[in-house]
Amino acid sequence: MHELAITQSMLDLVLEQAEKVGAKEVGKINLVIGEMTGVVDECVKFYFDFLSKGTIAEGATLSFKMVPTMAQCRDCHKSFELKEFDWTCPYCQGYGIKIIAGQELFVESMEVE
């Protein structure tokens, strides 16, 4: 459900950046979204089409780079991808982890004309 607010923030950011370079049209927006944020790409697309109507970003393509949740063990310091219901370290079975990826939520780049 937070996709509406997130898409609006993303669009605001894109329009602000486009204005800075005096763009007439936004063609493509490259987004990076961490799995842990729970942001659903299809949902963002749906809201984007709706919210961008009448702006220079109308019709822009959204590209999503989804980042899996990665952890580092606090005991043995090895890194691994987190599975849904098992967050123990597969190497030393420690249960203390540090999240090192998966919380990303940013606009990486965009193509403008």
Partner 1 sequence: MEIKVLKDILSANNQIAERNRQLLDSNNVFAVNLMSSPGAGKTSLILETIKRLKGKTRIGVVEGDIRSSLDAEMISKEGVSVVQINTGGECHLDANMTYSALGNVPLQDIELLLIENVGNLVCPAEFAIGEHKKVLISSIPEGGDKPFKYPLMFHIADAVLINKIDLLPYLKFDTEAFSQAIRGMNERVEIFQISCTTGEGIQEWLSWLLTQIDRR
- Residues of the shown chain interacting with partner 1 in the complex, contacts defined by CB under 8 A: 1-2, 4-6, 9-10, 12-14, 17, 21, 31, 36-38, 69, 74, 82, 84-85, 87-88, 95-99, 103, 105-113
What is the nearest approach in angstroms of partner 1 to the Cβ of residue 30?
A: 8
Q: What span, in angstroms and rounded, lies between the C-alpha atoms of 70 and 86?
A: 13
Instruction: In angstroms, give the least distance from the CB of 39 to partner 1.
Output: 8
User: For partner 1, which is the closer residue by CB, 61 or 109?
Assistant: 109
| Residue number, 17 or 49, with CB nearest to partner 1 | 17
CB of 49 to partner 1, least distance (A): 17
- Is residue 69 within 8 Å of residue 100, measured between CB atoms? no
Least distance to partner 1, CB of residue 109, Å: 5
CA nearest neighbour of 36 among 74, 75, 84: 84
Query: CB under 8 Å to 18, separation ≥6 — which residues?
Result: 26, 56, 57, 110, 112
Q: Are the beta carbons of 54 and 15 closer than 8 angstroms?
A: no
